Amino acid sequence: MICLKSSDIINVFNKRVEKLKTHYNKLLEEFEIEDIHGFRIEIKKLRAFIRLINTNIPKEEKIKIGEKIKSFYNTVGTIRNLQLHQLRVNSLCNEMLVEKPLQYMQLLHNEENKQKNKAGRMADKISFKHFWKKINHFTPGKLNTELVKIFVTQKQQSLFDLIFMVEYSDKALHEIRKVLKDLMYNWKYISSYLPAALPVYFTNKKNLNVFTSKLGEFHDLCIALYFFNTVYIEKIADEKEKKLLLSMMLKLERMKGMMREEINTLLTYFKQEMERKDIRQGLYVRME
């Protein structure tokens, strides 16, 4: 049985923010790809815990991260996406035995530097001391069995609505991943309540990690294809380079299509299992 007192919840918040600040200070040194990743993971874990604790708390009383930190999170995410895309282009060049598209790579590098400067200006306005103060003035109730069940039921319904869509758009697949990540990051508090609510596959943390990783790879392909859009390609003067970029884009689109089929097959399996369950008292239970 789960039961965290108000003081326990504040302690969890403080430990998470301590780790978050460590990653934040590290990434500000050079905006290295792994440092950004570490910071963003800590933000996701913190936000997942906040969503759990905010269950049944009135809107005006809910704890929030704050717009400045969220905006910084999004900007450093863009920096990381640009860095990952440059690595992907280099990998594609090696794979296709072609020269690097120098004009295109310069465009990406310039945009990366622009976003780094933007993030630096944002960092000047961020105060973790203010956030800590807000947390320590927050007065949550207990995290008990009842609240955990409500949280799991909410995630269950979100997952149900997404999995039973007629078609899975890129956005829908990303939303499924976010719901499942909320379950993973709060595993310590909710795992014993998942078997009654979700397909058996999702009640195993290792399985959950494998599937969310696959959805993450799919999302990365979506982002890569965004960087091959006309906003970038039309700026390339060299026609030979432009043709190379279009061939890379087609290659990634084929990869995305194959991955989508694989994910759709898994989701169809999950849908079939969920169809064998019924919603009663807020949780799925086996039908007789």
pLDDT digits (tens, 9 = 90+) for 75-108: 999 999 999 999 999 999 999 999 999 999 999 9
Could you tell me how far CA 278 lies from the centroid of its own chain?
29
Give the integer Cα–Cα distance in Å for 212 and 153.
20
| 50, 185 Cβ separation under 8 angstroms | no
| 55, 154 Cβ separation under 8 angstroms | yes
Residue 286: its pLDDT value, please? 36
pLDDT digits (tens, 9 = 90+) for 121-167: 999 999 888 888 888 777 777 888 999 999 999 999 999 999 999 89
**Which amino acid is present at 281?**
Q
* Residue 1 pLDDT level (bands cut at 50, 70, 90): low
Residue 148 belongs to what H/E stretch? helix 145-163
Q: What is the pTM of this model?
A: 0.91
Give the integer Cα–Cα distance in Å for 114 and 84.
16
* Residue 277 pLDDT level (bands cut at 50, 70, 90): low
Residue 163: its pLDDT value, please? 92
* Residue 46 pLDDT level (bands cut at 50, 70, 90): very high
Token pair belonging to 285 = 């239970």
